[in-house]
Structure 1
Amino acid sequence: MTKPPKHNPLVEPRSDEQGDVAIRDVQVLSDNWYTLRNYTIDVRRSDGTWQQQKREVFDRGSGAGILLYNKERRSIILTRQFRLPAYLNGVADGMMLEVPAGLLDDRDPADAIRHEVAEETGYAIGEPQSITDCFSSPGSVTERLHLFLAEYDPASRPSLGGGLVDEGEDIEVVEMGFDDALAAIADGRIRDAKTILLIYHARVHGVL
């Protein structure tokens, strides 16, 4: 996953009282790795009156995630890596089980996820199947996640993956039986939202 380019403000200040939102001011609070902005907006309420609000919005770019599965083995591929926010919020070792994922970095979502799969897991996949896109935390984060499925072939693994050392990645590749993955959601071993969504999608639609 490469560092995203610096972003211009998502929406410039404007006065648009013909609609339901008028953006009055945008201030950049932090522009280090990603961008945190403070927005002053006027919002038309359901009774027709206007209310001024201030909201902090975190822009880390949009991303993609994918569930790699194998029908014959009835298994999936996950990654395990350290996540500081999880560590700070109650995960004792900070290690999270997740589907392969990464930022788009101005790439087409399907191209981006193929690259992330190779980088993180070492597997080579064909054209991924698009499932949906969703917002991970729409109250404060702009990130829009494009979610995919693809079948993996254990014999098609040109490298061992593991991520990029110079970006601090130290990724363990985990092959897990599908029933065990469902149990891992129930017992808390899997807590990542996009991973839970994709595993349950596979269950509901009979992928595995």
Structure 2
Amino acid sequence: MQNPNITILKTEILSDNWYTLNKVTYSIRKKDGTEETQSREAYDRGNGAVILLYNRVSRNVILTRQFRLPTYINGNATGMLIEACAGLLDHDNPEDCIRRETEEETGYKITQAQKVFEAYMSPGSVTEILHFFIAEYSHDMKINDGGGLEEEGEQIEVLEFSFEETLKMIDTGEIKDAKTIMLLQHLRIKGIL
């Protein structure tokens, strides 16, 4: 159901080079009944999915490390970020997407993933909603080295850490990626590891 207090007046494309940056002008009815016209920019990059692979026996998790330009230009000296495996849906449903991304990025072939929640990651400027998953892994599920797709310019390092180590890495700032922190905390809160 659409919000009756919001009317979209105009949408202008400011850029569609990588994804789409729109300037949206809209009317909003305020609590006092008056209307005000506002405009905001919203970046539309599609929706995504993220997964945290975990092993109950070893109490380990699989994460990745790759260069992230926005973090580099915002003070991350190396630009490298440790994070959970993730990707854009690209017209797939979230479960199919995350199985594909898991295999491409980590080299693990999973058959089942448990969806745990959805979240907007930066609702003030980005339209993306992220579907969060967890799945158990074992080393016999490893079918290739992972590392991402060369044609997409991906150079992804696959990492295996103890769960306890990752919690310390959050405290030290070695892990700063929000989606990864959320999934690690989910495992902790639910007592999965």
* Structure 1 residue 205: Cα displacement: 0.2
- Whether 1:36 aligns to 2:36 is no
Distance 2:42 2:29 in 1: 19
| Consecutive unaligned residues in structure 2, runs of 5 or more | none
Distance 2:89 2:73 in 1: 26
| Residues 84-95 of structure 1: pairs in structure 2 closer than 5 A | 84-95=69-80
Distance 1:48 1:176 in 2: 55
The RMSD of aligned alpha carbons is 1.1
Instruction: Name the TM-score, length of structure 2 as normaliser.
Output: 0.97
- Whether 1:172 aligns to 2:185 is no
Q: Which residue of 1 aligns with 2:103?
A: 118
Q: 1:191 aligns with which of 173, 176, 179?
A: 176
Q: 1:61 aligns with which of 34, 42, 46?
A: 46
Q: Deviations over 1:58-88 (max 9, x none)?
A: 0000000001000011000000000000000
Q: 1:146 aligns with which of 131, 142, 146?
A: 131
Q: Deviations over 1:97-139 (max 9, x none)?
A: 0000000011010010000000000001121000001001001
Q: Deviations over 1:173-199 (max 9, x none)?
A: 000000000000010000000000000
* Structure 1 residue 156: Cα displacement: 1.3
Distance 1:192 1:186 in 2: 12
| Consecutive unaligned residues in structure 1, runs of 5 or more | 1-15
Distance 2:141 2:116 in 1: 23
- Whether 1:81 aligns to 2:66 is yes
Look up the SS of the partner of 1:69 in the other structure: strand
Look up the SS of the partner of 1:47 in the other structure: coil
Tell me the amino acid that sits aligned with residue 39 of structure 1.
V
Tell me the amino acid that sits aligned with residue 123 of structure 1.
Y
Tell me the amino acid that sits aligned with residue 51 of structure 2.
I
Instruction: Report % sequence identity.
Output: 52
Distance 1:131 1:113 in 2: 13
Distance 1:27 1:76 in 2: 43
* Structure 1 residue 206: Cα displacement: 0.5
Moved over 3 A (4+): none
Distance 2:52 2:61 in 1: 7
Instruction: Name the TM-score, length of structure 1 as normaliser.
Output: 0.91
Distance 1:178 1:46 in 2: 47
Q: How many residues align?
A: 192
Q: Which residue of 1 aligns with 2:189?
A: 204
Distance 2:151 2:97 in 1: 19
